[in-house]
Each structure stands twice: as structure tokens, then as C-alpha cells.
């Protein structure tokens, strides 16, 4: 590749722009972290100072040992992992079928799936509540898993379909000529090539479920099965908001998402680019 | 090794008829080339032999056994794809040995067969590489290696050379010819390139519009084409076609020149003459006269595009170097016995 000589001012400008964007995007996270380590008595007195004069981990200790937060965390983890896993498995199957087969009613199914994406959630939250209540699933984690899975399947299916579309059909034909059954061809040739897509889909659904608050708020009332975004609201009491602990909880909530993304990052980057290059 | 029989094969996609009544017997060890313009159904026919497409009607047999319902993996046929279709996540050795891996062959047997195939194809130093680290020609070799390792009853090739550059194409063509001589296996090869067809085939099947136009040896097709389509498709440069009117003893060209075609019966609407069967002559006595439009000096040959008076454009190929320039006046004679007569609907009229 030829390296063109660049105007140094332009390069400087580019980095300045990136720096500005980064600080803009990361500032809320910084603020979260800053308040979480600010001692309670300083929160209001030095409210807007960029740097606290004293730091403490007290808030983290309180959140972990004196509140139900570990339980909320655990609940969120179960719901998000289950929703991500179930959605990805179903979406992979459906996406493969849409990508490889032509069957009667296919267009109708695709149209219906698109249709479900057109309504604002607020419109359907009442009927969903009613359905979940009738199923006797209110206040249970399975209700959330069910709802998240149902709502994420269409998007995840289209995502997976585009990944399967990116894998040449010749590869399956070649595998079948080499002696595979269709299922063997899927497992030995197509699946390894779809890992980036699976990773991307898993990550996407996991984050969506992890931070979902509307359904969690509506369908879960008991503290036992609260997920973490709903649990955050327990820091808001009638007369005050416990900012320090709330922010500490927020910082802790970032950890699983970060870990998950570090874990799938390799696949995700590959996946996003392979999706992007394919016209 | 195997004999392949296609009996009344048809293919329809919905209401669209892609192949009609294909009958073909491929002898054990024969090299058959399916050739035709794009969309003629040649690749579909190959995929039906492979088992990747359903057969709408008719029967396909290997060694006399009906294969219509047999899945690809049980037909014991190897196929080389136009896109090579190498498994991107497996190295060269595993790509080539994948069929044996699937069939549960022992690792040592697999390794020795793969090594042998890699040696013959000059891939022995590349077996640990992934396909993306190979050049186009090397990928092509791996795809062939994958087929060889199988030791199948028959080989299918679907335009295997069309993604290679010209020099490499000639080299790989030779390699395929050698492979056939060495293995003596039944091979079916699809191409739209008539040079590949003429150089490789024992017999050529010319397809157009889903219908078999002619089956024959390369020389048959060149010398006695069954119709105008085959006549123009086989041979390079393309055969000249002239509109003619019938006379008692032969035909009359548009400029009035008469050509005797002894023993020919029935109506004749067109006359075909290959560029290499036209000779330059003295304009004063030649039956055809014209002006050189474009002259191509190839060294071994000279191609002359001639505007013939009263007839139209004709192409002439002369062996060796001919010192002509655009704008020169020249005369043409047709070599006797080298013309092809066609009816108005393109069928060949024979004496």
C-alpha cells in the first residue's frame, strides 16, 4: 500500500476530532465512576467538581453487602444469558432456512416478522402484561426470558440470515459431494464459518436484555426476581436518592457486559465487517 | 470408474423448461465436455449428474443403476467447482482429505493419500496453509486435489478455469488433460470456452436453449456441424454465414457469383464458410472482390476483415504473414468442398 504524504495539520485535526468524540461519549461513564467513589458527605458539597477531594470504596461495599444487589445481578445474568442463548439458537435455525430454502409462506413469515418490529413497545405492553398474567408467569424470571426472546427473534433472524447469505452455497454443495449429509455439512462447514455471526447475535441480544427496563418493570414486582435495572430504582426513596450507591451499582453492572464483549469481541469485529462488506 | 447414462433427462424450474430430452451415454473413461453459451443449461445438467439438482423427468444411471433418488454423497462422484469452494477454515491438507475424514478413514491412510495427491499437483509445500493464503492457481489445484483424493467413479468439472488468467488457464488445461490420461477416469467438464472443449474432449456435447444440438468428437463438430448454431459456436474465428439463393446446380451469392454444390438436394438459404477456408486471389478473376477493412497481423496468421462488394463483411484467415493493409483491394475464392449449406431454419443440408 502506498502511503500518501499527509498534511500534518489534517492529521492533528483528525486526532482532535476523535479525542473530542471519545471524551464526549465516555464522559457519562467517567461521571458514574466519579460519583461512585465520592464519599457521601462530599456528593452535594462538591457536586460539579471534576475530581473529588477524597475517594472511598465504601459505596461498593454497601451495595454488595447491605443491599439485594447481588441477587438482582444474578437474576439479570440468568435472564440475559438465557434470552441470548435461546434467541440465537432459534434465530440461527430460522436464518439458515430463510437463506437456503424456498418454501411456501416464506414471504408471509418474513412480512409478519417485520410487522412485529413496527410497533412502539408502549403500545403492546398492556396486552403482554395480560398474556403473561394469564400464563401465571408474573414475577418470574421466565416471563422476562420469554418476552425478550420473542421480541428479539425477528431482528436476530435477519442478522443471522445475512451471515448465512454471506457463506457461498457452493461450500455446502462441495461438502455434500465430499460425503456429508446436509446436517453434517451444516455442522462441519457452515457452523464454524458462522461463529462470528453467532457471536455478534449473542452479544447483541445479551446487551439488549441486560439493559432492558420497561418489561422488567411491568412484569416483575417482587424483590426476589428483580433484574438489576429495576433494582436500581430501589435506591430512589421517597425523600432522597442514594446517588453514591446507585452509581456504584451502575459501575458493577458494567462488568458483565464488558467481560462478555471482551470474550466475543474477536468474533464481533469479524462479524460486523463481514456483514458490512457483503452488499 | 463408471459408465454414465442420461435417458430423456428434463429439468423444469417451476414452469420454465431448462433442459429438454437429453440423451447421452458416457463411456467408462471418456472425457465429455458440455459446451454452450451461458444459460444453455450445461451447469444445471452437471449438477443433476452430481445430485445437487433434482431430475424433473427421465433417468440418470451410473453403471446401469438408477441414480435419480440417490443423494450426492452416495453417488461416489467428485466435483470441482467454478468458485473452487474450498473450506476457508481448514488447511490445504484437511481440505483435500475432508471426504476421507467424513467417511471415517484412518488418519494414516488419509495422510498418505493426501500427500500423494499434493505431490502430483505440486502442493507439497503448501499443505499447512489456509485457502486464503493461496493464489488462484494454487486454489484451483487444491480443488482438483480434493477430487483426486476421493478416487471417485467419475469427475465433474464446472467451468474450473474461468477464474484464472489466460496463461494459467492454458497450464491448468494441460494439467487436467494429463490427469485424465493418468487416471483414465470418466470426466464430465462444463465450459463456455470452445478452445477448452476442443482441446480436452473425447466427445463434445453442444447445448443451446436447453436442447442438445450435437454430440461428437471435436473433429466431427468442426467438419460436419449439425446446424448453423454448432457451425458458428465451434471454431475460431467464427464461421462466415452468407445469404444465398438456390440454383439448379448450387447456390447464387448476393453479388451474383454462382457456387456449384454438386449432389446437394433440398432448399438452401445460407452458406457457411470458415475464415481459414477462404483464399486470397487476383481481384481481376476472383468470384468475390472487396476492400480490406481491418488487418490483424498475428505472426503465425493474418486475419483480414473484408468488405465484399455486393455481399457484405467476411472474415479471412491466411496462414503466415500477408503484407496487406487496410484499404487494399483484394479478391477471394472459396476452397471447394469446404462450404456448409443451411436451410432457412438453420439445419445443415448435406450432399
Per-residue pLDDT tens over the stretch A45-66: 776 777 878 888 888 888 888 8
Q: Which residue's entry shows cell 466431427? A: B220
Q: Please indicate if any CB of chain A lies within 8 Å of the CB of B71.
A: yes
Asked whether residue A266 is domain-assigned, the answer is yes
Residues spanned by the domain of B58: 4-233
| Residue B273 and residue B254 share a domain | yes
CATH at residue B129 = 3.40.50.300
Same-domain status, B183 and B282? no
d(CA A203, CA A241): 32
pLDDT at B332: 94
**Which 242-281 residues of chain B touch chain A by CB within 8 A?**
none
Instruction: Pick the residue from chain B with its C-alpha nearest to A179.
Output: B73
Chain A, chain B: beta-carbon pairs less than 8 Å apart? 55
| Contact residues on chain B for A187, CB-CB shorter than 8 A | none
Within a domain: A6: no
Q: Which residues of A touch B86 (CB under 8 A)?
A: 174
Whole-complex ipTM: 0.84
Q: Which of B265, B327, B263 is nearest to B290 (CA)?
A: B327
- H/E stretch holding B13 reads strand B4-13
Q: What are phi and psi of A169, to 5 degrees?
A: -65, -25
A124 in the same domain as A22: no
CA distance A177 to chain B (A): 5
Q: Regarding predicted confidence, which is higher, A67 or B313? A: B313
Q: Are residues B142 and B19 in the same domain?
A: yes
Say how far apart CA A92 and CA B181 lie, in whole Å: 46
How many residues are present in chain A?
Answer: 279
Q: What is the pLDDT of residues B157-169, one digit of tens each?
A: 999 998 888 888 9
Whether A156 shows a pLDDT value over 90: the answer reads yes
CATH number at residue A180: 1.10.3720.10
Which of A168, A176, A177 is the mutation pick for testing B, counting most B CBs within 10 A? A177
Q: What percent of chain A has pLDDT over 90?
A: 39
Cell of B104: 471415517
Q: Which of B72, B83, B150 sits opposite A176 (nearest CB)?
A: B72
Our CA-based measurement puts residue A197 at a distance from the nearest CA of chain B, in whole angstroms, of 15
Between chains, do B52 and A180 touch, taking CB under 8 Å as contact? no
| Triad B307, B308, B310: Cα angle to 5° | 120
> Cβ separation of A168 and B50 shorter than 8 Å?
no
The residues, any chain, with a CB within 8 Å of residue A39's CB and separated by 6 or more, are A52, A54, A55, A56, A58, A244
* Residue A276 pLDDT greater than 90, yes or no: no
Domain closes at, from B173, B204, B233: B233
A 10 A CB-CB count for A119 gives 9
Q: Which residues are bridge partners to B34 per DSSP?
A: B190, B205
State which of B217, B233, B249 marks the end of a domain. Answer: B233
Residues 151-190 (A) with a CB less than 8 A from some CB of B? 168, 170-171, 173-181, 184, 188-189
Q: Does the beta-carbon distance from B83 to A180 stay under 8 Å?
A: no
The mean pLDDT of A75-89, rounded to a whole number, is 95
A3 found inside a domain: no
Quick one: A77 and A52 in the same domain?
A: no
Q: Is the Cβ–Cβ distance between A96 and A167 less than 8 Å?
A: no
Q: What DSSP designation does A4 have?
A: P
- Walking along chain B (351 residues) 10 residues at a time, the average pLDDT comes out as 92 92 95 94 95 94 95 94 91 94 92 93 91 90 93 94 89 92 94 93 95 96 95 92 90 89 87 94 91 94 94 94 92 91 92 71
- The answer to whether residue A222 scores a pLDDT higher than 60 is yes
Mean pLDDT of A96-112: 91
Side-chain half-sphere CA neighbours of A266 within 13 A: 2
Q: Are strands B250-253 and B240-246 parallel, antiparallel or unpaired?
A: antiparallel
Asked if B64 and B152 sit in the same domain, the reply is yes
Contact A223, A182 (CB under 8 A): no
CB B285 within 8 A of CB B331: yes
Q: Give the domain range for residue A36.
A: 12-56
Number of structural domains found in chain A = 2
Nearest residue of chain A to residue B99 (CA atoms)? A178
Cell, residue B44: 444445471
Residue B82: closest C-alpha in chain A: A170
CATH number where B331 lies: 2.40.50.140
Structural Rg of chain A based on CA atoms: 23
A12 falls in which pLDDT band (50, 70, 90)? very high
B177: Cβ contacts below 8 Å, ≥ 6 apart: B199, B200
What confidence score (pLDDT) does residue A268 get? 63
Backbone angles phi, psi at B58, to 5 degrees: 95, -175
Q: Contact at 8 Å (CB) between A147 and A215?
A: yes
Rounded CA-CA distance A114/A205 in Å is 17
Residues B147 and B165 in one domain: yes
Strand partners for B296: B303
| A172 Cα to chain B: minimum distance (Å) | 9
Listed in sequence order, the DSSP H helices in chain B are 42-50, 92-102, 107-120, 136-150, 166-183, 194-200, 218-223, 228-233
My answer on whether A107 and A28 are in the same domain is no
Share of chain A above pLDDT 70, in %: 93
Q: Assess whether A79 and A146 both reside in one domain.
A: yes
Q: What angle do CA B308, B326, B331 make, to 5 degrees?
A: 35
Task: Let me know: does B222 contact B197? Beta carbons within 8 Å.
Answer: no
Interface check B104 vs A, CB under 8 A: no
Can you spell out the DSSP letters for B233-247?
Answer: HSSSSPPEEEEEEE-
Cβ contact, residue pair B83, A178, below 8 Å: no
Cis peptide before B237 (omega within 30 of 0): yes
Q: Across residues A79-104, what is the average pLDDT?
A: 94
**A109, B100, B115, B138 from B124: Cα distances, Å:** 50, 19, 7, 11
Nearest to A147 by CA among A161, A135, A158: A135
Residue A7 domain flag: no
CA distance A111 to chain B (A): 23
pLDDT at residue number A270: 62
- How far is B131 from chain A, CA to nearest CA, in Å? 13
Q: For position A253, what pLDDT does the model report?
A: 87
Q: Report the alpha-carbon angle B80-B26-B349, nearest 5.
A: 115
Model confidence at A13: pLDDT above 90: yes
Q: Does A64 reside within a domain? A: no
Instruction: List the single residue in B with minimal CA-CA distance to A170.
Output: B85
My answer on whether B165 and B290 are in the same domain is: no
Reported as a pLDDT band with limits 50, 70 and 90, residue A278 is very low
Least CB–CB distance from B52: residue in A171, A173, A192: A173
Closest CA to A79 of A248, A266, A207: A207
Q: Are residues A103 and A143 in the same domain?
A: yes
Name the residue of chain A whose CA is nearest to B72's CA.
A177
Do residue B84 and residue B213 come from a single domain? Answer: yes
**Of B233, B248, B275, the domain-final residue:** B233
Query: Is the residue at A2 inside a domain?
Result: no
Are B303 and B343 a contacting pair, CB within 8 Å? no
Number of domains composing chain B? 2
Query: B103 at the A interface (CB within 8 A)?
Result: yes
For residues B254 and B313, give the distance between their C-alpha atoms in angstroms, rounded to a whole number: 12
Amino acid at each position: 500500500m502506498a502511503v500518501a504524504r499527509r498534511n500534518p495539520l489534517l492529521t492533528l485535526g483528525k486526532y482532535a476530532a476523535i479525542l473530542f468524540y471519545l471524551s464526549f461519549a465516555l464522559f457519562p461513564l467517567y461521571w458514574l465512576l466519579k460519583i461512585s467513589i465520592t464519599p457521601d458527605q462530599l456528593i452535594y458539597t462538591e457536586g460539579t467538581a471534576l475530581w473529588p477531594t477524597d475517594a472511598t470504596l465504601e459505596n461498593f461495599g454497601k451495595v454488595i453487602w447491605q443491599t439485594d444487589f447481588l441477587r438482582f445481578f444474578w437474576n439479570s445474568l440468568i435472564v440475559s444469558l438465557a434470552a441470548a442463548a435461546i434467541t440465537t439458537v432459534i434465530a440461527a435455525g430460522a436464518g439458515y432456512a430463510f437463506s437456503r430454502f424456498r418454501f411456501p409462506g416464506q414471504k408471509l413469515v418474513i412480512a409478519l416478522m417485520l410487522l412485529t418490529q413496527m410497533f412502539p413497545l408502549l403500545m403492546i405492553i398492556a396486552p403482554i402484561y395480560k398474556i403473561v398474567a394469564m400464563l401465571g408467569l408474573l414475577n418470574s424470571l421466565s416471563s422476562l426470558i420469554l418476552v425478550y426472546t420473542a421480541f428479539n427473534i425477528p431482528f436476530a433472524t435477519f442478522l443471522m440470515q445475512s451471515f448465512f447469505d454471506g457463506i457461498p452455497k457452493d461450500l455446502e454443495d462441495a461438502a455434500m459431494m465430499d460425503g456429508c449429509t446436509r446436517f453434517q455439512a451444516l455442522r462441519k462447514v457452515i457452523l464454524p464459518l458462522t461463529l462470528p455471526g453467532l457471536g455478534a447475535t449473542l452479544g447483541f441480544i445479551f446487551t439488549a436484555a441486560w439493559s432492558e427496563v420497561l418489561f422488567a418493570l411491568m412484569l416483575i414486582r417482587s424483590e426476589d426476581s428483580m433484574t438489576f435495572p429495576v433494582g436500581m430504582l430501589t435506591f430512589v426513596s421517597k425523600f432522597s436518592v442514594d446517588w453514591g450507591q446507585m452509581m456504584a451499582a451502575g459501575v458493577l453492572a458494567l462488568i458483565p457486559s464488558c467481560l462478555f464483549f471482551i470474550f466475543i469481541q474477536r468474533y464481533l469485529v469479524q462479524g460486523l465487517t463481514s456483514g458490512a462488506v457483503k452488499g | 470408474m463408471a459408465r454414465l447414462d442420461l435417458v430423456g433427462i428434463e429439468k423444469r424450474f417451476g414452469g420454465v423448461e431448462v433442459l429438454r430430452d437429453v440423451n447421452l451415454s458416457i463411456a467408462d473413461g471418456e472425457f465429455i465436455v458440455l459446451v454452450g453459451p451461458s444459460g444453455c443449461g450445461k451447469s444445471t445438467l452437471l449438477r443433476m449428474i452430481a445430485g445437487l439438482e433434482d431430475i424433473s423427468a427421465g433417468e440418470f444411471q451410473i453403471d446401469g443403476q438408477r441414480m435419480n433418488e440417490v443423494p450426492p454423497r452416495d453417488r461416489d462422484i467428485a466435483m470441482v467447482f467454478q468458485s473452487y469452494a474450498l473450506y476457508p477454515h481448514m488447511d490445504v491438507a484437511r481440505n483435500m482429505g475432508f471426504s476421507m475424514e467424513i467417511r471415517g478413514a484412518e488418519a494414516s491412510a488419509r495422510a498418505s493419500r493426501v500427500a500423494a495427491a499434493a505431490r502430483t499437483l505440486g502442493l507439497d509445500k503448501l499443505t499447512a496453509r489456509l485457502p486464503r493464503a493461496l493464489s488462484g492457481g494454487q486454489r484451483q489445484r487444491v480443488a482438483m486435489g480434493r477430487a483426486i483424493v476421493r478416487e471417485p467413479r467419475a469427475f465433474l468439472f464446472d467451468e474450473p478455469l474461468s477464474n484464472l488468467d489466460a496463461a494459467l488457464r492454458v497450464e491448468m488445461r494441460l494439467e487436467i488433460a494429463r490427469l485424465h490420461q493418468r487416471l483414465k477416469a470418466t470426466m464430465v467438464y462444463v465450459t463456455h470456452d470452445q478452445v477448452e472443449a476442443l482441446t480436452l474432449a473425447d466427445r463434445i456435447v453442444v447445448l443451446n436453449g436447453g436442447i442438445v444440438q450435437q454430440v461428437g468428437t471435436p473433429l466431427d463438430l468442426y467438419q460436419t456441424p449439425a446446424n448453423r448454431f454448432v457451425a458458428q459456436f465451434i471454431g475460431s474465428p467464427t464461421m462466415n454465414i452468407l445469404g444465398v439463393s438456390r440454383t439448379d446446380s448450387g447456390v447464387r451469392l448476393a453479388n451474383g457469383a454462382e457456387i456449384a454444390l454438386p449432389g446437394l438436394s433440398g432448399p438452401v438459404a445460407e452458406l457457411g464458410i470458415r475464415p481459414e477456408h477462404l483464399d486470397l486471389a487476383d481481384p481481376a478473376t476472383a468470384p468475390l472482390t472487396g476492400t480490406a477493412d481491418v488487418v490483424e497481423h498475428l505472426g503465425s496468421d493474418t486475419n483480414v476483415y473484408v468488405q465484399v462488394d455486393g455481399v457484405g463483411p467476411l472474415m479471412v484467415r491466411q496462414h503466415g504473414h500477408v503484407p496487406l493493409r487496410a484499404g487494399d483491394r483484394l479478391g477471394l475464392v472459396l476452397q471447394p468442398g469446404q462450404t456448409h449449406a443451411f436451410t432457412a431454419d438453420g439445419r445443415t443440408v448435406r450432399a
